[in-house]
Structure 1
Amino acid sequence: MQIVEDSIVGVRAAAITLSRHETPLRFQLYPMLHIGDRGYYREVTRRLRDCDLIVAEGAPDTVATRALTLSYRLAHRNKAMQVETQSLDLLTLGKRIVIPDITTTDFEAGWQRVPLRTRAMITFAAPLYGLWLAAFGTRRWIGKHAALDDLKTNEEALTEAPDDPLAALIMDTRDKLLVDELLRIHAEHHDEPMTVAVVYGAHHMRAVTSALNAVHGYRARDAEWVMVLAY
Structure 2
Amino acid sequence: MQIIEVTELAGVRSAVMTFRHPAARLRFVLYPMIHVGEPEFYAQVQEELRGCDIVLAEGVNGLSLSMRARIASYRLVTKNDRFALVPQHIDYAGLDAAVIRADMTGREFTALWRKIPLVSRILSLVLFLFYSTGMRLFGSRRLIARALTTDDDPSRPPQDPDAVYDLIVTRRDEVLLRAATELHRERGADDLVVAVVWGAGHMPGLIKGLWALGYRVQDAHWLTVFSLHHDHEAPPRPPGRGTA
- Indicate the TM-score class for this superposition, using the shorter chain for normalisation: over 0.9
Q: Secondary structure at the match of 1:113?
A: coil
Alignment partners' CA distance in 1, 2:137 and 2:32: 27
What fraction of aligned residue pairs are identical, expressed as a percent? 35
Structure 1 residue ranges without an equivalent (≥5): none
1:146-193 superposed Cα distances (whole Å, 9 cap, x missing partner): 000013674x63x514xx221221012111110011111011111111
1:58-77 correspondence runs (5 A): 58-59=59-60, 60-77=62-79
Aligned to 1:178: 176
Confirm whether residue 137 of structure 1 aligns to residue 145 of structure 2: no
Q: Which amino acid aligns with 1:103?
A: T
Aligned to 1:30: 31
Contact conserved, 1:34 with 1:72, CA < 8 A, in 2? yes
Confirm whether residue 200 of structure 1 aligns to residue 220 of structure 2: no
1:1-231 correspondence runs (5 A): 1-8=1-8, 9-59=10-60, 60-151=62-153, 154=156, 157=158, 160-161=160-161, 164-215=162-213, 217-231=214-228
Alignment partners' CA distance in 2, 1:211 and 1:67: 30
Alignment partners' CA distance in 2, 1:28 and 1:124: 35
Q: Which amino acid aligns with 1:52?
A: D
Q: Which amino acid aligns with 2:200?
A: A
Q: Secondary structure at the match of 2:114?
A: helix
Alignment partners' CA distance in 1, 2:116 and 2:81: 35
Give the count of matched residue pairs. Answer: 226
**Structure number with larger C-alpha Rg:** 2
Alignment partners' CA distance in 1, 2:164 and 2:153: 21
Contact conserved, 2:11 with 2:227, CA < 8 A, in 1? yes
Alignment partners' CA distance in 2, 1:19 and 1:181: 17
Task: Name which of structure 1's ranges 204-213 and 30-39 shifts more when overlaid on structure 2.
Answer: 204-213
Q: Which amino acid aligns with 1:20?
A: H
Q: Which amino acid aligns with 2:77?
A: A
Contact conserved, 1:71 with 1:133, CA < 8 A, in 2? no
- Alpha-carbon offset, residue 123 of structure 1: 3.0
- Alpha-carbon offset, residue 21 of structure 1: 2.4
Task: Name which of structure 1's ranges 118-127 and 13-22 shifts more when overlaid on structure 2.
Answer: 118-127
Task: Name which of structure 1's ranges 55-64 and 10-19 shifts more when overlaid on structure 2.
Answer: 55-64
Q: Which amino acid aligns with 2:170?
A: D
Alignment partners' CA distance in 1, 2:185 and 2:24: 11
Alignment partners' CA distance in 1, 2:127 and 2:169: 20
Q: Which amino acid aligns with 2:45?
A: V
RMSD: 1.5
Q: Secondary structure at the match of 2:102?
A: coil
Alignment partners' CA distance in 1, 2:113 and 2:3: 28
Contact conserved, 2:124 with 2:164, CA < 8 A, in 1? no
Q: Which amino acid aligns with 2:218?
A: R
Q: Which amino acid aligns with 2:29?
A: Q
Alignment partners' CA distance in 1, 2:205 and 2:133: 32
Contact conserved, 2:15 with 2:221, CA < 8 A, in 1? yes
- Alpha-carbon offset, residue 65 of structure 1: 1.1
Q: Secondary structure at the match of 2:196?
A: strand
Contact conserved, 1:24 with 1:193, CA < 8 A, in 2? yes
- Alpha-carbon offset, residue 68 of structure 1: 3.0
TM-score, L = length of structure 1: 0.93
